[in-house]
Amino acid sequence: MAHPFRLMLAGQSLIERPLHLTPSAASLQVRDLLAQADLAVTNLEVALDSGGGWPVRDTTSHVAPESVLDTLAWFGFGAVALASNHAFDLGPPGILAGLGATRQRGMLAAGTGPDAVTAGEPGFGLAASRRVAMVAVVAAENPPQSHALDAAGQLPARPGVNRLRVNIESGSGEPGHSVGGRWAPEETDVMALLRHTRAAARLTDVVVVYLHNHYWATPQERTPNWVREFARRCIDNGASVVLGHGTPVLQGLEFHRGHLIAYGLGSFVFHTHRPASYDAGAWESLLVDADLGPDGTANEVRLHPVIHGCHPERPGAGRPIDAPASEVPDSGPALPEARTASRILARVAELSEPFGAEVVTTPEGAAFLRPTVPAPVSATAHH
């Protein structure tokens, strides 16, 4: 019998400068943990600067040199979702730079493309002799020109992100939304993503579906109902795992038919330009460490709390994240002290309990995510 496939899911990587050139002892600990995975997944929430792009926002942009991918590779990430609300911050050249840089490094990537068809297609790769795929999409109120567009007539294609449009429906409101209605994703966009998910499941052993969402509930820790419905449909159509980002804080985790859904893992790296506007929750995250069986269901899920950036336990946490490089402390991830780890796990337990999942800890300090009731046999027939 083949050994379980060990998949690690991390928070989003809003990383504007490389962190691996002079690594700290804390970063080395996190790297050693990620090295145990057959595949580790994050997202890249910046536009890569190849020298040909230009700012497309009047407000905050997040731009980085290609060397930040070397940092992610150094940590052990073999897969990066490129779909995010900041992927287009340098226009089409930034999109193409991200695609080229990930391919050059042999990374599995998905969520952007030179046209709409390509942006929606799965990325494929091989890890630990298993065929893996990722489908990635972003739901955010980005400028329309950020979305990938196919050629039409004499008009050329436009590089961009794979989008998931979200509409507001009238009627009873979803708690937390001041507009007084219920969010609903555009069904044509959902169906396109599900087609790609089914196709990927027929060709591979492990399929990760990635959603970068900015249609948030209030408080941000709460998972909107439409996101839960969307994630479950992805599992029903062949996804092994669904990973979500977008909010800078942790959200809950769930098992659906034995498959893992991580609705929001906060950040792995968070180079915000406004660190003072975030509380401690923005600097706390998880590594979700899952053993997947042959059908993609999660046999065992371990939880590893992580802190980063301006967390009070980090060295020099009071300094601005955009200070001169010579003054910036190591803002990368670290494993927290036991008391902080317990508090993070308690918060995850609180957020996951409504989804029928619980956090179980051992006397040695290990933490596991388990369903509160036995899961039915997976009904997905695509693996």
Does residue 70 lie within any of the structural domains? yes
pTM over 0.85: yes
pLDDT for the residue 100: 96
Say if residue 324's pLDDT is above 50.
no
Higher per-residue pLDDT: 372 or 59 = 372
Task: Please return the burial class of 134, using the count of CB atoms within 10 Å of its CB with bins 0-12, 13-18 and 19+.
Answer: buried
Does residue 381 lie within any of the structural domains? no
Residue 193 sits in which domain range? Answer: 5-371
CATH of the domain at 307: 3.60.21.10
Torsion, Cα 276 263 163 120, to 10 degrees, reads: 130
Residue 177 pLDDT grade (very low, low, confident, very high; cuts 50, 70, 90): very low
Q: For the chain, what is the domain count?
A: 1
Does residue 30 lie within any of the structural domains? yes
Q: What is the pLDDT of residues 120-146, one digit of tens each?
A: 999 999 999 999 999 999 999 888 899
- For the chain, give the mean pLDDT: 90
Does residue 90 lie within any of the structural domains? yes
Which amino acid would we find at residue 366?
A
Distance between CA atoms of 287 and 333, rounded to whole angstroms?
Answer: 10
Q: What is the pLDDT of residues 334-383, one digit of tens each?
A: 999 999 999 999 999 999 999 999 999 999 889 999 999 765 544 444 44
pLDDT for the residue 382: 43
Q: What is the pLDDT of residues 230-287, one digit of tens each?
A: 999 999 999 999 999 999 999 999 999 999 999 999 999 999 888 878 888 999 999 9
Tokens for 28, please give them. Answer: 């080395």
Does residue 215 lie within any of the structural domains? yes
Looking at the chain, how many residues does it have? 383
